[in-house]
Structure 1
Amino acid sequence: MSRIQCPRCLRPQSHCLCPLIPSLDSRTRVLLLQHSSEVNHALNTARLAALGLNNAELIVGEVFEDLPTLLKQPGYQARLLFPGDDAQPMQAYAATDEPLLLVVPDGTWRKARKMLHLNPLLAALPRVTLAEGGVSRYRLRKAPGPGALSTVEAIVQALEILEAPTSFAPLLKPFEALIEGQIAAMGEEVFQRNHGPK
């Protein structure tokens, strides 16, 4: 028997995060392209980001037929938030007149790379990247390397660079509650055994 879900945050009704989700304005438009396998993931941080930002859109799939239309947002310059040899640091766009359309693939690194491969228009976008060394609060997943952040953390860091001194930290409140809830559900002993310091 399945638990009743909140139709907005997709969490079980008893663990609804909606009261913690802010409603934040941003000059930057955020386009989240979520791999379809992530939709029902318990830790769906892309959805939290899309719900908390008024100027954000979440599209689910693997091949995005509407990409040409989605990327043609008048008044915005599209940039892909994804590492690469030619990626520019986010700081390079902090003082530009034209706001960014920040395109953020959401999925495991492998799935995100596959999305780029299947969507040549996406792969061809100029890339931006965050400063190295960001520390994730995502204590339930092993990071593939230093500076690997969850989708919502990466978006918060990007927006705080692009739109300083505005704070986007309220976006992290539902994320932290989600992590705490998962840890409480598994129990401290199981959490320490699987995710604690080795």
Structure 2
Amino acid sequence: MARPECERCKRPQTRCLCALIPHLDSRTRVLILQHSSEAGHALNTARLAALGLDNAQLEVGETFSQLEDWLALPGYRPCLLFPGDEAVPVADFAQAAVATPLLLVVPDGTWRKARKLLYCNPLLQALPRITLPSGLSSRYRLRKAPEPGALSTIEAIVVALEAIEKPAQFGELLRPFEALIEGQIAAMGAETYQRNHAGGAATAAPETGPDAPEQAD
């Protein structure tokens, strides 16, 4: 029989994270496009990010018929958090947010699934791209990063927002994420964790961040 789950955070009621989820405001609007294969993942950091940010929207699927409307939200300039040859460092692009707030579009899935989101939704390919600084380390200790600097989706969003809205801080958003990781480590036992995971960093695309590209929450 399935365990009762919290309707909000989708965790088992005995491990509900809602008390740790903040209510953070941001000038930047965050649109998270989560590949449908990630929605049921136990480590769903995209959902935690959307719950913790008042100015955020989480959509699940592979193709999004309303994407044009979401990107045309009045008063915002859309950009895509995803690496690429044309990607601009987020700190540089942040200057554009001084006059017009940004709509930060974040694909969420493994790198392969995140790329598929771009392929299936050509409007995303036309957006200006921003990328995170190099040399970042993930706190996602239950997964080996597919490449150096890969972060979970929620970590990538925090880094991007802090660069765009400096000196504002968004680290509170990571509280439920860290509790989730600690709970997973406790459940597997210290010995198992040390043997299989200690010393390996975890990730997401982008987990671009986004649970990252092959990253994933």
Q: Into which bin does the TM-score normalised by the smaller protein fall?
A: over 0.9
Matched, 1:193 2:192: no
Report the Cα offset of residue 91 of structure 1: 0.9
Q: Which residue pairs with 2:79 in the alignment? A: 79
2:142 maps to amino acid: L
CA–CA separation in structure 1 for the residues paired with 2:84 and 2:51: 28
CA–CA separation in structure 1 for the residues paired with 2:15 and 2:183: 8
2:178 maps to amino acid: E
Q: Which residue pairs with 1:44 in the alignment? A: 44
CA–CA separation in structure 2 for the residues paired with 1:48 and 1:34: 12
Q: Pairwise mapping of residues 81-160 of structure 1 onto structure 2 (< 5 A)?
A: 81-95=81-95, 96-160=98-162
Instruction: Give 3-state SS (helix, strand or coil) of 1:30's partner.
Output: strand
CA–CA separation in structure 2 for the residues paired with 1:22 and 1:197: 30
Deviations 1:141-168 (A, max 9, x none): 1111111000000000000011111110
Q: Which residue pairs with 2:170 in the alignment? A: 168
5+ unaligned residues in a row in structure 2: which ranges? Answer: 201-217
- Moved segments of 4+, more than 6 Å: none
5+ unaligned residues in a row in structure 1: which ranges? Answer: none
CA–CA separation in structure 1 for the residues paired with 2:78 and 2:147: 27
How many residue pairs get aligned? The number is: 198
Report the Cα offset of residue 115 of structure 1: 0.8
CA–CA separation in structure 1 for the residues paired with 2:133 and 2:173: 20
CA–CA separation in structure 1 for the residues paired with 2:12 and 2:119: 34
CA–CA separation in structure 2 for the residues paired with 1:20 and 1:32: 20
CA–CA separation in structure 1 for the residues paired with 2:57 and 2:119: 22
Question: TM-score by structure 2 length?
Answer: 0.89
CA–CA separation in structure 1 for the residues paired with 2:19 and 2:70: 30
Report the Cα offset of residue 94 of structure 1: 2.5
Q: Which residue pairs with 2:184 in the alignment? A: 182
**RMSD of Structure 2 on Structure 1 (CA):** 1.0
2:136 maps to amino acid: G
Q: Which residue pairs with 1:59 in the alignment? A: 59
Instruction: Give 3-state SS (helix, strand or coil) of 1:101's partner.
Output: strand
